[in-house]
Structure formats: structure tokens, C-alpha cells
Structure 1
Amino acid sequence: MALSIAMKEWKLLLKEKGTFFWLLLMPVLFIILFGSVFSHLGSSSISLPYIDLDRTQASQSFLDSLAQKSGFRLEAKDASTLDDQVDRIRNGKMSSLLVIPQGFADEIGGAGGKQASVELYSDSSSNTVAAVRASLENVANDLRETKIDGALKAAGENVDQRKQALASPLLIDDKPQNATAVNTIAQVVPGYTVMFVFYVTISMIRRFLGDKSSGMTARLRTTRLAPLNYLLGMWLAYMVVALAQCAVLLGFGHFVYGLELGNVAAIVVLVILLALCGTGIGLALCMLVRGENQGMAFTQLVAMGGAVLGGLWFPAELMPKTMRTISHFIPQYWAQSAFQDIMLRGAHLGAILPSLGVLAAFAAAGLLVALLRFRGFMKSAMS
């Protein structure tokens, strides 16, 4: 009998175009939007306008070195537009402008004992200025080392002696511990998958309250269908919807963005527990809310609040300490952590058991509340 209720619910859901928008199209659009934005941060798509007033081989060599080391796309500007470019920075329409003054080649060659200089006009409120300045300092350090190397060579030092003198006293021995390199898509795809699982609650609330207001729930008492079968059938219907939603979104991330899913068995078990958790909490809300507007408000609180505190939009380690502590009491945090353990650290099922346990506990709590409140829900439908 519960399966009959679920079949009925699936047929109704397939007829509602809004269901596909909220549960599939909307999260896909979020993944595309934020995946495209975050995956291009720090790439060479950021441009650095410059004006070369020297126009010598030395200035061009400097610019080539800067482009290679910074990754910025250098964009030449005409010298006659200098004042206009500076005004654009003052008005917040540009972040920076690099100017190589006349005489740069002579000064970089050490003529007259002068120190070569370049001018960096910048908007101090821009986030890219620090990266530009750091890149310029890297090029300056390379030029300084070249100058020192020339002086040592002139003093009669051999190649090995010069290398030893120029070697840094500090060696960074990088030992990465993750099985896979960090990937912004591994943050975005599972993050929005987890977030929109909890939006299934919107459809659940509408259906439960719709059945109640239409008198269908009351009529069930006059049939041979046990009330508990009605509850289980509705839960089964949305469990399958949540599982399908996760499969579509993770598959989209894998085939479109090349997301490495990791251990498939661990992903499958995690998705099942996530669906149990999301629909369990959703079932509890259906039994607690008194109207659709109240239900929408609670759903937004659970879904959006959980997304922020659970680290679904950005890594949890970027949050303040207090928020990181609170996040451990949010099911979304444990789901996202488990996804990233599998996708980024090569974890298998045994390694994510604590996260699975927390999701199971939230699912059990939600189902318990739903069962305790179900009798009251049925009585209110009769009145």
C-alpha cells in the first residue's frame, strides 16, 4: 500500500514543471554559475594594463618576464591616454596601471649608478593589486640576483660558487598529503548537491498540506489503507526523488566538469544517508508546520542557513572559529566533509563512517519527530 502512495506521488511530481526547476534545473544553474566563476579565479584572464614610455629591448624583456611569472594578461595602452587611465583608477573603473618610464633601459643597466624604477598606479581597495605588486617584486628579485651574479662573475667566482652564494637559505620541502589536487569544482558540485537535497522539503510540505486541505487525508481514514502506510509511501516517494537528484547533479559535475567522484561505493552509501537525512528532516517539518508559508520559511532556514554554516558555499576553514564550532552540529557540514574526503583525499567507506553516523542520527531524529506528530496531523485533518 505504501508503494501505491509513492507511485501516485511520482505521477503527480512528473506533471509539475516547477518540481524539475527547483530540484534539478536550479541546482544545475547554480553549479554552472559558481563553478565557472570560482574555477577562473586567479587565472590569466585577469588583465594588467601598462604603458611603456621607454620602448626598448630592456623594457620589453621586463614585460615578458612579468607576464611569465604573474600569469596576468598584459594589455598595452597608448602613452597619450595616461591621464585618462589614472582617472579611471580614481573613479573605480580600473584597478591598476603599470607605467615604465623613459630611461628605464639606462637605469636597469646601471648607468649613472641610478636604480631603475617602474610606476604602479592602483586602487587600494582592489583585491588584485596585492598580486600585481607581489609579481613585480618577484621580477625585481630576479633582476637583483642577475646583477649579483654578474658582480660575482666579474670578481672571479666560478659557476658553483655563484650558485651557492645565490641559493636561498630556506628550502620549502612541499609534502602534499591529499590523494587529489584541490579543485574548486569539488567544492561547488557536492556543496550545491547537498544544499538542494533539503529543498525537497518544499514539495513535501506542499503535498502534505495540499492533501490535508483537499480532504484526501481525512478520506484515508475511511479506507483500508493504514495511516502509517500513507506516511511511509510519501517518504519513499521523496527518498527516490532525492536520490535521483543527487545522481543527476553529481553526474553533471562528473561528465561536464570532469569531477573525480572517488570511491563509488562510498559515494553511493553517502548519497543514500544524505537522502534519508534530508527527507527525514523534511518529514518532521511537514508534521510540525501549520501552513505553507511557515513551511517555506523553515525550509529556507534549514537549507540556506545550513549551506552557510555547513561550508557548502565556501570551505568551512575560512569561517571564524565560533562558526566552525557551530557547523559541527549541522548535517550539511558532515555531508560536505564526507564528499570532499572521498573526492579529494581518496577516502573509502570506512573513513567516512563518523559522517555517515551523524547523518543517520539526524535522519532518525527527523523520522522520530514525524512519527510522534503524525497522529496529531491526522486528527487535525479530520477537524
Structure 2
Amino acid sequence: MKAIILKELKLIRKDKRSFLFLLLMPVLFIVMFGSVFGGTGDSGGITLRVVDQDGTEASRSFLERAGQIIDVKAADASELDEQIGKIGQGQFSALLVIPSGFEAAMKQGVPADVKLYRDPAAAASLAPIEAILNGISNGYREQKLAGALASMGQSQAEAERTLASPIRIENVSTASDRFNYVDQVVPGMTVMFVFFIMITMSRRFFEEKKTGLLSRIRSTSIKPLHYLIGMWIPFALTVVAQCAVLFAFGHLVYDLNLGDLSALALIVAALSVAGTGLGLGLSFVMPGEGAAMVVTQLISMGGAMLGGLWVPSYMLPQFVQTIGHFTPQYWAQHSLVNVIAHNAHIADVAGGVVVLLTFGLAGLALAFFRLPGFLRTAAS
């Protein structure tokens, strides 16, 4: 069995196609997705483009208030038509215009109008901007009412009590699924490409079948179980090495927080068992190498879509989320993200680890029962 393990490790090391699928491709995907999404995925920032036609102290004060809450990008007054045209082209969704006479209207005590040019097709993204502008407007109103109450003889404390809302909202911090996009893409691409090990595994078994090596092994005293374990261990170690390299890449290049390393290592070990166990079972069930390739890609890509490897699972339709719970990719990704983004520990991910081991052991059991038949076909 030791000789089989050493043989397979040498063959895997020399296999350039395995290097392409298991290391180079996931690194390229991580870089691509990380670059597209800026490496942060911070969706909490809101940008509002503004044209200030008034250019007075009052208009600047208004924009300073807005700038404390959202990212304000000012454009020159001469660019108004161009900016409105960009909304029609879908380049952005809203433009705030402070017209001339804004400060004069405020001094006269009449409503000072501002104009919000908006794309009606982007109602969801505009809602936060409208809420922020309404909040600023209410602030000015409260300031005006406080002045009126003061002129009526109320002290500042009395005016504040009069204007105080009868309802108080208390903010309570709790865990959130909002996290750096790298926390999603690094484990997602790692899990997706782990299952490409099944291509390498099926190709190796069918090559040994074609070359007659399996026939010679069957005629020796090597027990089928020893052969199975000897072939499986090198691939399991390869997956562990693959995960270690990809997570190290994410940590060094994108400053990925790895969380509890012991929990992360446990998930990687269980993921290795799941991916290679299913690969072993698949290799002995498929009628040929071509069929094995097709099924492997279906499992890898289909599981990536259903298991929430490309986007967080909660963003998928409910029926897709339900189906995803039956894939090993979901449990691997869910457990990894919990460790990386939510500081989970071993006890928190034990359920996901058990599910991954169940998938892997089911594949290994299938391979064990199918191995004698596979060896007989190799001998014929």
C-alpha cells in the first residue's frame, strides 16, 4: 500500500492538467472576482452625485450634512445636462440639484426647493437616498421649530423635550451576513475547484485500466481494500494541499481573515474526504472516462450554483436554497464562511463537518463495493 501511495503522489506531482484545474484556475478565478468587486464587497456605501447651482453657504452646509452620511460627488453646474443624460443611459440612478436661490429662500422663511433627478427603474437603490434626504429635511424643520419655540420663551431644554419623539429606537448589534466579498469568493472558488479532483481521479483509474496495471494488480496478493486506500490517500492529501495554498493566497494577497485555524483545518479535512470519496465512488460507477468527465463537471458546476459558491446562498431563490442543502458544496461553504466571516469555532461547524464526512464515507463505501467488479472488467 505504501508503494501505491508513493506512486500516486509522484504521478499527481507530474500531472500538469491537475495543476491547472486544482491550483492555477482557482487562483485566476479568485483574482478575477476579487478585482471585479474591488476586493472588498462593501455594499454599505451610498454615492450621490450633486450639482450645486446656488454656491452659497447654505447650500454648502446642506451638502456637508449629506456628506456625513453618504458619499457626495460634486459636479460642475455647467455639466447639469450631461449628468441628467447619464441617468437616462443607466450610468447612475440619481442626481441632486440645488438650484439658485436656495439660500435666499431659507432666509425668507419659505420652502427652499432641491431637485432629485431619478431613474424610476432603480427604485430599490434610490430608497436609501430618499430616506437620507428626508432625514436632513426633518433636521432643518426641527431646527426651525426650535427657533420658534425659543422665540415664544421656552428654554433650549424645554424645546428639546417638546420636539423629542415619543418613540426611541435602540440599536442592538448582532451578527450579520454582510462581509468582505473576499470572504465569499476565496472559500467559494476553493470549494468549487476541490471537486475537480474527481476528474483527476477518474482519469487515473481509467488509465490504469487501459494500460493493464489493474489486471496485474488483481493477479497479485494486494488486497482490494489496500489498493483502494493506497489510491485514495494521495488524492485526499492533494486536496488538503490545494486548500492550504488557496487560503494562504487569499490571506497574503487579500488579507483574508482565516479565523479559528483548528476549525478551518477540520472543515478542510472533511471537505477532502467528501470530494475524494465521491470521486472514488464515481470512478467505479461510470462506464467510461468521458461519462465520468461529464458527471464530474455537472457535480462541480451544478453544486457551485446551488450551494451558494458564487453568491451568498441567502440571495438565491428559496427553492434553490432548499435544493442546495442536499449538496456537499453548501455545507462546506456555509461552514467556511462561518469561520472566516463570523468567527465560528469547532463546535459551531461540527454539523457541517458531519454532513461532509457522510458524503465522503458514502462515496468510499460505494467504491469499496464496486471495486471487485471494476477489477474484473479490467482483467477481461
Fold match, TM over 0.5? yes
Taking a change above 3 Å as real, the CA distance of residues 7 and 124 of structure 1, as seen in their structure-2 partners, is: farther
Taking a change above 3 Å as real, the CA distance of residues 214 and 140 of structure 1, as seen in their structure-2 partners, is: farther
The aligned counterpart of 2:43 is: 42
**What's the CA shift string for 1:91-148, capped at 9, x where partnerless?**
3344332221111112233x2x532222222223346433433332232232222222
Taking a change above 3 Å as real, the CA distance of residues 92 and 260 of structure 1, as seen in their structure-2 partners, is: closer
Residues in 2 aligned to 1:149 and 1:351: alpha-carbon distance in whole angstroms: 52
Q: Tell me how far 1:274 sits from its aligned partner.
A: 1.2
1:64 alignment partner AA: E
Which aligned pairs between 1:1-383 and structure 2 lie closer than 5 A?
1=1, 3-36=2-35, 37=37, 39-42=40-43, 47-70=47-70, 72-79=71-78, 81-109=79-107, 111=108, 113-126=109-122, 128-178=125-175, 182-383=179-380
Secondary structure at the residue paired with 2:258? Answer: coil
Taking a change above 3 Å as real, the CA distance of residues 264 and 362 of structure 1, as seen in their structure-2 partners, is: same
**What's the CA shift string for 1:126-178, capped at 9, x where partnerless?**
46433433332232232222222222222222222233333343333333344
Q: Tell me how far 1:344 sits from its aligned partner.
A: 4.0
Taking a change above 3 Å as real, the CA distance of residues 197 and 42 of structure 1, as seen in their structure-2 partners, is: same
> 1:85·1:97 contact (CA, 8 Å) conserved in 2?
yes
**What's the CA shift string for 1:303-329, capped at 9, x where partnerless?**
222222222233333333333333332
Taking a change above 3 Å as real, the CA distance of residues 73 and 104 of structure 1, as seen in their structure-2 partners, is: closer
> 1:30·1:192 contact (CA, 8 Å) conserved in 2?
yes
Residues in 2 aligned to 1:168 and 1:316: alpha-carbon distance in whole angstroms: 39
Q: Tell me how far 1:182 sits from its aligned partner.
A: 4.2
Q: Tell me how far 1:337 sits from its aligned partner.
A: 2.6
Give 5+ residue unaligned stretches, structure 1.
none
1:65 alignment partner AA: R
Identity %: 43
Q: Tell me how far 1:215 sits from its aligned partner.
A: 2.9
Secondary structure at the residue paired with 1:254? Answer: helix
The 10-residue stretch of structure 1 (6-15 or 196-205) with the greater mean CA deviation from structure 2: 6-15
Residues in 2 aligned to 1:306 and 1:238: alpha-carbon distance in whole angstroms: 20
Taking a change above 3 Å as real, the CA distance of residues 205 and 153 of structure 1, as seen in their structure-2 partners, is: farther
Q: Tell me how far 1:47 sits from its aligned partner.
A: 5.0
> 1:307·1:332 contact (CA, 8 Å) conserved in 2?
yes
State the TM-score, normalizing by the size of structure 2: 0.88
Residues in 2 aligned to 1:182 and 1:91: alpha-carbon distance in whole angstroms: 31
Give 5+ residue unaligned stretches, structure 2.
none
> 2:42·2:181 contact (CA, 8 Å) conserved in 1?
no
Alignment size in residue pairs? 377
Secondary structure at the residue paired with 1:219? Answer: helix
Residues in 1 aligned to 2:29 and 2:132: alpha-carbon distance in whole angstroms: 33
> 1:195·1:307 contact (CA, 8 Å) conserved in 2?
yes
The 10-residue stretch of structure 1 (166-175 or 245-254) with the greater mean CA deviation from structure 2: 166-175
Taking a change above 3 Å as real, the CA distance of residues 15 and 365 of structure 1, as seen in their structure-2 partners, is: same
